[in-house]
Chains A and B, each alone.
Chain A
Amino acid sequence: MITAAWVRRAAAPLACAATLAACGADDKSGSSGDVMFDNGVTNEPCPEAKNPGNGCIYLGTISDLSEGPFAVVGVEYTAAQKDFWDRVNEDGGIGGFDVDVVKYTRDAKYNPEEHVAKLREIEPHVLALAQSFGTPTTLAGLDIMKRANLVGNGATAWSGWAFEDDGLVLESGQSYCVESLNGLDHIAEEFGEPKRVLAVHFAGDFGGDAAAGAELWGARNDVEVTTLETAPNAVAGSQDAVLAAIRRRQPEVVLVATGPAELGEIVGKAVAAGFEGQFVGSSATYGPSLLKTPAGPALKARYRYVGPHAPYARADTGAHRAMQRARADKLPQSAAYAGGWIASYPLRRLLEQAAKKGDLTRANVRATVQDVTVDYEGALPPRRFGRGGATIERQAVIATLDDEAPLSTRIIKDVFVGSTAKDVTIDRACTADR
């Protein structure tokens, strides 16, 4: 009897030729020296290998790279990861393998449908994901990652990851929710505790998370915090709703979780109309080129930047020094570069540890997550991944805006853990109903 498996094997080359797609059998086990491996690892060197004697580990990247809404972030983040892994390869690679992050890079335009389609395509060929960009996209791909034992770096700072991911999505740095806590803690420390706070925000994983953080902060500190959901200028036309709310609710502090264009309009127009309070916003809200817009002076005077790590130049961490070397001191355009670089440390550590155990199979890489401590070369505090409760990152950097500083951000506190952020309980996604 002819079994289907036999038929498939016999006809596979034909199907490959017919579809132009890169076909491959699902399970490719093998070993090199004393390292076992299956999918996404080969004994053949990488394309354009730094160490032609090494085998190759393929990591997948699914990002927003052409016309999606966050292409600006995606492109820089992805470029940083390329530089990061180039450096790993220059240092000899991992356990006798170079790492390739180019061959399986795909553009999903921040669209969950496309993300899942691309993930299905590259999944059989990669050991792990160097990048899974975005919250809804990564959530959509989670099922496939679970089935395939595929660990990945999630380029998303939603607070829900600590509770949703089955240990598959590696996260680095504070969530947007904690970012708000730290930002408001800082403002309270610096300017006195405000009586009224207004959080203006986009919907969902970024803005919604940040606004939930602000509400959490208000509940803890007995401060009246109100929120107002707004939308990007390209669909809302203007930020009039926010300006009206500022006028009417008379907050002393406005937390802004929007994009840069909206931030500029809000701060510029509110200050022009006589608003005298402070603004604070997260790393995703601010863009360095804002200082060249008419809103520049108001931003410099009234805005505080909160981020998970220094946006780029800070010579005293190994990570930032390495980034600057990799770019030969050519400034990136935003904090996304540092984000991509710093978020790559966990996966590197994970692969090193799995390789040391002589087992680069996906199952073992996944198992290794349960017991790995990552050193970020000083950019973030060392982090232990694994079971034993969700890890909530609580550290921030605070900066003021300054044309002279690299990326227009002058760090004023490089290791900041606010009094609320320090010990507030976060036991589910901040965006979940409370």
Chain B
Amino acid sequence: MVELLEAIARGLGQGSLYALLGLGFVVVYKTSGVLNFVQPALMVLGAYFASALAVDAGLPFALSFAIAILATALLAGAIERVALRSLVGTSEATAAIVTLGVFVVLNVVAADLIGAGQRTVGDPWGLESFSIGAVTIFENDAARVVLAALAVGGLALFFARSRTGLAMRASAFSHEAALAQGVPVGRMIGLAWMLAGALGALAGVMAATGGGGFDQTLALLALKALPVIVLGGIDSIRGAIVGGLLIGVAEACCKTYQPEHASWLGANFDQVLPYIVMLAVLLVRPYGLFGTPQVQRV
């Protein structure tokens, strides 16, 4: 029982991370229909900025964290302005390939900045843990849950209450309709990118907490978010969160039990599991748990 509860706790921590990674993809997809391959690089650069400020420059963790989020958001906004603004309204697949080109460039830059070896972000949690009854929980897992909840809460408020949030939702609904109401759709997409940058940096820093820090190979981790967002429904913020937590917990349980009890499934089966969970959900609900069904007009 303790083992199961601990696995669930770790799964929730990891799942919060996946949820944030997923949200980064979702905000851009929702407003522009583009699968953003730059997101992995934004995540890595966010972690790097925090690391450079907290460890190399010796700033307090919270301050470096905040600056890293801001810097990554600005960078994301700049990328959108330079590379993608002119593609609004053309093929979304083409835009996705453009983001891939940007990723190739940024990935080399990020790898060079990170350099050889491990980096840390100077987080206060490290390997500390606390206990609830017999269940031991790592502080960084708890921190991931709390920070993800704060970020998601903030995002929800922003979309529900602010005028800009409303305008973004309008652009997500329909570019033409939004333009007709005087919403600057291009700028809204830029804003979505900045949000994605901020979420990416947040996820990057969280991914870097825990035992061994992070290194040049971190970028691939962002792809963990893809089954998450499809499972949840690709245009749904709620979906990304539920999907992230679901897959985080499923994965943690698989890691804990599959090697002992179902070893015939092969080594590292947990890498395939998210896609199997995703497929199972899609067979029942083709637009994910919370996605908007696309109504086809004749």
Where the two chains meet, the residues of A that have a C-beta atom closer than 8 Å to any C-beta of B are 66-67, 69, 71-72, 75-76, 203, 228-238, 240-241, 244-245, 247-248, 259-269, 272-273, 287-290, 292-295, 298, 333-334
Contact = CB atoms under 8 A, between A and B. Distances in A.
A260 B7 contact: no
Grouping DSSP codes into helix (H, G, I), strand (E, B) and loop, the A interface class, with mixed when no group exceeds half, is helix
B136 A72 contact: no
A273 B136 CA distance: 8
A203 B120 CA distance: 26
B126 interface: yes
A290 B18 CA distance: 25
Contacts of B224: 237
Interface stretch (B185-193, B230-238, B263-271): B263-271
A235 B163 CA distance: 39
A71 B216 CA distance: 9
Contacts of B120: 292-294
A66 B220 CA distance: 16
A230 B117 CA distance: 20
Interface string B91-127: 0000000000000100110010001111110000011
Contact of A235 (B116, B213, B220): B220
A97 B117 CA distance: 37
A231 B268 contact: yes
Contacts of B55: 292
B212 A236 contact: no
A233 B14 CA distance: 12
B211 A333 contact: no
Interface of B: 3, 7, 10, 14, 18, 55, 104, 107-108, 111, 115-120, 126-129, 136, 138, 210-221, 224, 251-252, 255-260, 267-268, 270-271
Contacts of A72: 116-117, 215-216
Nearest to B207: A233
B217 A236 contact: no
Contacts of A268: 127, 210-212
A293 B212 contact: yes
B118 A333 contact: no
A191 B207 CA distance: 35
A263 B210 CA distance: 12
B211 A295 contact: yes
B107 A266 contact: no
B221 A237 contact: yes
A247 to B, nearest CB: 7
A191 B267 CA distance: 31
Given A240-B7, A240-B255, A272-B127, A295 B212 contact: yes
A228 B111 contact: no
Given A264-B211, A292-B118, A236 B259 contact: no
B3 A269 contact: no
Contacts of A263: 212
A232 B259 CA distance: 17
B161 to A, nearest CB: 34
A245 B259 contact: yes
Contacts of A67: 104, 107-108, 111
Nearest to B119: A289
Given A71-B216, A287-B118, A293-B211, A240 B271 contact: no
8 closest residue pairs by CB, A with B: A264-B212, A289-B117, A268-B211, A265-B211, A229-B267, A294-B126, A241-B255, A234-B220
Nearest to B55: A292
A265 B136 CA distance: 16
Interface centre among B18, B127, B220, B260 (most CB of A within 10 A): B127
A65 to B, nearest CB: 10
Contacts of A233: 212, 217, 221
Given A230-B267, A235-B220, A259-B217, 13 more contacts: A66-B108, A67-B107, A67-B111, A72-B117, A76-B116, A235-B271, A236-B268, A240-B14, A247-B3, A259-B215, A269-B138, A269-B210, A333-B117
A428 to B, nearest CB: 22
Contacts of B117: 72, 260, 287-290, 333-334
Contacts of B257: 244
Interface centre among B111, B212, B252 (most CB of A within 10 A): B212
Contacts of B211: 264-269, 293-295
